[in-house]
A and B are shown apart, each in its own frame.
Chain A
């Protein structure tokens, strides 16, 4: 397989900046890392000598671990910074924190921040490559890429599929990145959820919006459920957890409306019995949730390698 297609990006801030060709380049490279990761010896040295710093301004176990493993398997020197416990408590601004880290000459900066646009802002102030690991409600590009890889491997293609995304679209960066990515790859996207959890004028993004889950799931190839945050469960956006599960939770009965070979996805962590039935989530014939986690490491390895190639080809 050839990996020589140019990937002309300094940072990976969002799916918005990528073209279909860029997406295919990342996924092709990630495919080869899936193979590597399944071997007993999983080590490569394409990032040898490079320093990767994971800055998480918001709690995350899964994504941070995934980026850390990805970096270590490629031979980078990886450092984790839990930013809640650090200088922002002392009143340092985001930009000052970025400038301070920049002075230590990292090569790859992996950033998660609770506010939309914060990673873009930080990327303007540093010399290294920045990977957005999730900013507010804006984007989570590596999640959309790992979802795309999972779909492509399960379905054999990443175009002309009917993909339903269900749940809290309004507060979800995963949904935004997936809408952009699946749209760029020419799939039909359906959004399913109560109108209180739907962003304004989302219909203008070339998606179909369904308030009735039964309608929305008809004949789809992929069902992607999103996590409903605990703090949004009671009264504010939906009446209750149990009513939400009844109307918008994915169970076997609702899934029967989708294509017989439809796959079930979830970015995790799941609330079993809120947005998805626990038994269904564990059904290895339908659920690809564990594969998503596996693809996450491969996609992050691929993204970091492509950015590192550009770092090495352009001397600072």
Chain B
């Protein structure tokens, strides 16, 4: 199907531009974009009425609960949620039950994803077997089976010898390793970030320094092994200088941050609201602002949803016992637009972090509006106000911290390879 989007506000993260114009799609790819665009043959014309058209979001670190906990999220429900959120590529986490740590499990999820999901699904695989931090997985076979990155998710490979060997082997395969920088000793059992709030609430807490310690260790190991490395979430001010030095020293390192750490702080937990329990725990406002600034400066590369479905039973517990994580596929863009409305980022800058940078890090051709790029697009109204109602979410689990929140910015339509997968 050929499409012509007219009267659009084109958000091009690659060029850093935000201009009115048109965009043509043919055979699933972008043909041309700009002020004057030739109409493709037989094209369906879509009048965007001034809404923004941007490359679809590439979300690294989405948890779909297959295999093991399909009642929390299936490929079908995750795909619908992603489409409604303007996410055109989900990069799935291997922290399922069992973990995705063998080519056979990976093939199973790939089959499930192809059958049920309207958006692109790229799987990640575990770095160590069972995410137990003892033996590396079959990185070569897993890459052949389609794994785009290797991660033990929130499990830190505590044994540095195991981690350094896995990094070395991964380098030889050209594999990207994604880690969760955190000192395992300090963070053990923590439900909050240490500080005034955790002390008042009497919650076991971890010092924000634990993140820097984890990152410092990982940086030393990358320097030693030459591996390609991405830190899944950098959420504290103290970790930023280390990241900056590592980048300046030419190491192959990038960093991400979850939308929750960009838009919420520890005080949001208030009276033990478990929907605000995430991993790492929400930080102080000073840390949040430092991370937002680092994102604007390009030091932090990628925003992700860290979509983590949890059913009501695992959240309706005392705070310490409650499961961590929040769903975010559908709230990612409206929440991220808060950063734009607050003047921290412009729209091309936001989509660099949501679409272009994650695509580049994984070697994908999407995330751009250039001719030849895949026709993965999100059309959204950046100003439309609404009150978030969690019962409207498409995810099977509705553990969002934004329930009842006033938000501004809604997805109007989502296209994957030029095919509409969501229309409001």
Contacts and interface: CB of A to CB of B under 8 A. Distances in A.
Contacts of A138: 201-202
Contacts of A115: 318-321
Contacts of B316: 93, 95, 121
Looking at A113, A137, A200, which has the most chain B CB atoms within 10 Å of its CB?
Answer: A200
B199 interface: yes
B202 A200 contact: no
Contacts of B198: 199-200
Interface stretch (A201-209, A267-275, A277-285): A201-209
Nearest to A95: B316
Contacts of B313: 93
A116 B272 contact: yes
A120 B321 CA distance: 14
A126 to B, nearest CB: 14
A199 B199 contact: yes
A121 B205 contact: no
A190 interface: no
A93 B201 contact: no
Interface in A103-129: 113, 115-118, 120-121
A117 B199 contact: no
Contact of B196 (A116, A176, A204): A204
B237 to A, nearest CB: 16
Contacts of A121: 272, 316-318
A137 B202 contact: yes
A68 interface: no
B200 interface: yes
B205 to A, nearest CB: 6
Nearest to B271: A120
A118 B251 CA distance: 46
B318 A202 contact: no
A195 interface: no
A213 to B, nearest CB: 21
A93 B194 CA distance: 28
Contacts of B35: none
Contacts of A135: 202
A116 B200 CA distance: 10
A136 interface: yes
Contacts of B319: 115-117
Nearest to A135: B202
A173 interface: yes
A116 B201 contact: yes
A176 B202 contact: yes
B195 interface: yes
A120 B272 contact: yes
A200 B318 contact: no
A136 B198 CA distance: 13
Given A200-B195, A200-B196, A202-B199, A136 B205 contact: no
Contact of A136 (B196, B317, B320): B320
B183 to A, nearest CB: 16
A115 B313 CA distance: 17
B345 to A, nearest CB: 30
Contacts of B321: 115
Nearest to A115: B318
Contacts of A139: 202
A16 B316 CA distance: 23
Looking at B198, B201, B203, B321, which has the most chain A CB atoms within 10 Å of its CB?
Answer: B201
A36 interface: no
A94 interface: yes
Nearest to B312: A95
Interface in A63-121: 93-95, 113, 115-118, 120-121
A135 B319 CA distance: 12
B224 to A, nearest CB: 33
Nearest to A176: B202
A200 B272 contact: no
A113 B318 CA distance: 10
Contact of B320 (A16, A116, A120, A176): A116
A248 B422 CA distance: 66
B205 A118 contact: no
A93 B321 CA distance: 11
Contacts of A205: 196, 199-200
A222 to B, nearest CB: 22
A199 B316 CA distance: 27
A214 to B, nearest CB: 25
Contacts of B271: 117, 120
B207 interface: yes
Q: Which 9 A-B pairs have the closest CB atoms?
A: A137-B202, A117-B272, A138-B202, A199-B199, A118-B318, A115-B318, A200-B194, A116-B202, A201-B196
Interface of B: 194-196, 198-203, 205, 207, 271-272, 313, 316-321
Given A93-B317, A113-B318, A116-B203, 6 more contacts: A16-B200, A116-B272, A116-B318, A121-B316, A121-B318, A201-B195
9 contacts: A95-B316, A116-B202, A116-B272, A116-B319, A135-B202, A136-B202, A138-B202, A139-B202, A200-B207
